[in-house]
Amino acid sequence: MKLFIVTVGHKMPDWIITGFNEYAKRMPREAKIELLEIKPEPRTTG
């Protein structure tokens, strides 16, 4: 099983990485878990 935690932003605060690491420790070893950072798109008007 593969799980993705997706975050949107430029640089994630340390508490997000700490929380992710804690969450990953609680998952079974068979579950592959990744933290993906996606940069936000510029906002458009309208």
Task: Let me know if residue 9 belongs to a domain.
Answer: yes
**Confidence at residue 11, expressed as pLDDT on a 0 to 100 scale:** 85
Map tokens 């068979």 to a residue.
30
Q: Which residues of the chain carry a pLDDT beneath 70? A: 46
Domains in the chain, number? 1
Residues 6+ apart with CB under 8 A from 30: 1
Q: Report yes or no on whether pTM surpasses 0.95.
A: no
The dihedral formed by the CA atoms of 34, 35, 39 and 40, expressed in degrees to the nearest 10: 110
Task: Let me know if residue 17 belongs to a domain.
Answer: yes
Alpha carbon distance 35, 21 (integer Å): 9
Alpha carbon distance 1, 7 (integer Å): 20
Task: Let me know if residue 31 belongs to a domain.
Answer: yes
Task: Let me know if residue 44 belongs to a domain.
Answer: no
What is the Cα 45 distance to its own chain's centre? 28
Task: Let me know if residue 43 belongs to a domain.
Answer: no
Domain that holds residue 16: 2-38
Task: Let me know if residue 46 belongs to a domain.
Answer: no
Task: Let me know if residue 28 belongs to a domain.
Answer: yes
